[in-house]
Structure 1
Amino acid sequence: MTESDRPRFRIDADRQAPSRRVRYVETNRPDDGSCTLCQLDDENPAPLETPMTQDAHDNEEDEVFAQATLLEAIENQLESGEPPAAQATLNKLTLVGYEREESLEMMALVLANEIQSMLAENRPFDAARYESLLRALPELPE
């Protein structure tokens, strides 16, 4: 095979690997327009809008899971009566006209804020700060 007959891409595959992956390795031969892969790229350009990637889908699932877990933690606090500010806050929010679900979501946001601060500052959970943020509802922390 002469240098000019040599393809621009060569196929490299590991047939012994448990998962079959084919890699196209670009050679240092300049493209003269005969590269089949390049011609396919020209015929089928990538769409302008990219569909939702797996990472975006995973992030969405993570957010739903985190929200459900935070709501479960608030329900557990209400059930156990600890901290007492949790039940007091729910009662206050219900009295001023918020629905139970909306109240629980606001309380979950406060819990998420305290957890985020705790992780960012590398400190233990601050129950006093958490209770003061709960009592400040319906004003949400920044």
Structure 2
Amino acid sequence: MDENEAAQLRKAVLDAVEKQITDGEPPETAETLERLVGEGYPRNEAVLMIGHVLAVEMFGIMKEERGFDHAGYARALSRLPQLPGDSPIR
């Protein structure tokens, strides 16, 4: 994947996060944003963290040929700022 493709993919994921926030679906996305901002993270950093979780979920959907795992996605969001498979940010 070249830099242009990576930038397009990143934008698509972040756009999807913003749509989830705007639409309130799933509600955990907006709730997580509010929580992270309340904990002192800048909004853009919080959206990036949520985007990471969404990208991991999207990869799982494609790799495992399964549907969206709402419960798993909500669990991963609740663990932020700890990213899936990583240590906490900060």
Give the TM-score taking structure 2 as reference length: 0.89
- CA distance in 2 between counterparts of 1:86 and 1:115 reads 15
- CA distance in 1 between counterparts of 2:19 and 2:74 reads 15
Do residues 117 (structure 1) and 63 (structure 2) align? no
After TM superposition, the runs of 4+ consecutive aligned structure 1 residues lying more than 4 A away are: none
63, 69, 77: which one aligns with 2:12? 69
By percentage of residues, which structure has more helix?
Answer: 2
- CA distance in 1 between counterparts of 2:66 and 2:5 reads 24
Structure 1: where are the runs of 5+ without partners? 1-57
- CA distance in 2 between counterparts of 1:115 and 1:74 reads 12
Structure 2: where are the runs of 5+ without partners? 86-90
CA RMSD of aligned residues (A): 1.0
Q: How many residues align?
A: 85
Q: Which has the higher contact order (CA 8 A, sep 6+)?
A: 2
- CA distance in 2 between counterparts of 1:125 and 1:84 reads 15
Identity %: 38
Give the TM-score taking structure 1 as reference length: 0.58
By percentage of residues, which structure has more strand?
Answer: 1
**Greater C-alpha radius of gyration:** 1
